Chain A
Amino acid sequence: MGMPISIHVRGANLDSTPVALGVEAAFDLLRQADRLFSTYQHDSEISRIRRGELDADQADPLVREVIRLCQQARELTEGAFTDRLPDDEGVPRFEPTGLVKGWAADRAACRLAELPGASFCLNAGGDVVVGGTASDAGEKQAAPWWVGIEDPRDRTRIAEIVELCHGGVATSGTAARGAHLYDPGTQTFVERTGSVTVVGPNLMWADVWATALFVGPASLPRRFVRVADGYRMISLRGHR
């Protein structure tokens, strides 16, 4: 998927075998997702689907699951989220990467959530999922993770801090890659500045909504408030 992923685990007995195995299992799931979905890998199933060499019906069950989730995401966001993006030549192609990121991170996080007496923070290229169990005897809940949200006007600064024990934090914006976010409504790449961060129980859906809210119409936040139970958004201003 071409993005950096780091895992931070807190708790007692972190040198134990179960913890090492759990972290390795989490990375294995991420590598598996990369093998199936990376558009940078010529032989990934997604690359083959994009070239028309593989039919979606014949694809790996995980790929078919992602295709179904993409459809749900499109319906939920009334089309603001899209899995069809123009490639380098401008030809529209199946491009589920926006959803796969969070989906893969959530799957990896499940391995970490199983670790007894540990809490974890997984950061996949700026999308964060945290969770886990109490780290010390007597504590009802592990200490929360402090997730800084980058200031879109100055990427060396933190604009806000979200305190979270369980859930996901996803940010969408143009500060890092310029106009790479596509608005299927206008069929153009969005030049808007600033960023949208969504916090909620599941990283994949937080990420879907963050992207949709960043590119989508002004009416979408109202829909978000109505249908995305348990999620909240933080909208940060960019340069004029």
Chain B
Amino acid sequence: MRRIVFVMMSTITAVVLLFSYRTSTNSALVAGSPVVQLPGSPGSASPPRSSSKSGPATSKSSKSGPATYTGDSADTRWGPVQVRITVQGGKISASEAVQYPQNNGRDAQINGFALPILSQEVVQQQSASIDTVSGATVTSDGYLQSLQSAIDQAHL
């Protein structure tokens, strides 16, 4: 019960995909479910930046209210993936997979695990004082490819 409460307080994407995970595999949120951080949880401490960044490269003037952008559908070996982001004040406030592979149990496993973590990442890294992230190559290629096209549209 507690874990479901955490999910409700987290990003929209995590809720949508975890529910989907439960339905297709017919199991509760058991070990192997993604760790969901509450918004406002402390991230890793990062050293204060001494050099100031020049202005953002390609941003246009930000709109007053939130705006949503949907990336192009991207093909992955498991099927098409498509992402929608919500931008508010020049930052991504939410990201959501609007189309993702769900043809078999393995897809549901991968989606249940990989996509919610990526959505959290997208929202959290926006507020970190870093320019980019190096990490193990992501598997939800289509998700990020499509997210990137959504970001391009938003001119972030």
Contact = CB atoms under 8 A, between A and B. Distances in A.
B145 A176 contact: no
Interface string A131-173: 0000110000001111111111011111101100000011111
A218 interface: no
Nearest to A127: B134
Contacts of A195: 135-136
Contacts of A144: 51
Contact of A148 (B53, B76, B134, B139): B134
A33 interface: no
Interface stretch (B18-26, B61-69, B98-106, B122-130): B122-130
Interface stretch (A2-10, A47-55, A63-71): A2-10
Interface string B119-156: 01100110011111111111101001101100100000
A170 B132 CA distance: 12
A177 B46 contact: no
Contacts of A77: none
Contact of B132 (A40, A121, A156, A159): A121
B129 A146 contact: yes
B125 to A, nearest CB: 8
A123 B129 CA distance: 17
Contacts of B58: 9, 14
Interface residues of A, number: 49
B62 to A, nearest CB: 17
Given A10-B53, A14-B58, A143-B51, A159 B44 contact: yes
B43 interface: yes
Contact of A145 (B57, B114, B132): B132
B135 A156 contact: no
Contact of B138 (A101, A126, A152, A174): A126
B75 to A, nearest CB: 8
A143 B134 contact: no
A171 B134 contact: yes
Contact of B148 (A6, A146, A152, A173): A6
Contacts of A136: 54
A85 B74 CA distance: 26
A125 interface: yes
Specify which of B51, B57, B121, B128 lies most central, judged by the most chain A CB atoms within 10 Å of its CB.
Answer: B57
A137 B7 CA distance: 49
Given A123-B132, A146-B132, A150-B136, 8 more contacts: A3-B141, A126-B133, A126-B135, A147-B132, A156-B120, A157-B43, A176-B114, A177-B139
17 contacts: A8-B132, A11-B57, A14-B58, A40-B75, A123-B134, A126-B133, A126-B138, A146-B129, A147-B132, A148-B134, A149-B133, A150-B136, A152-B136, A158-B44, A169-B134, A174-B136, A195-B136
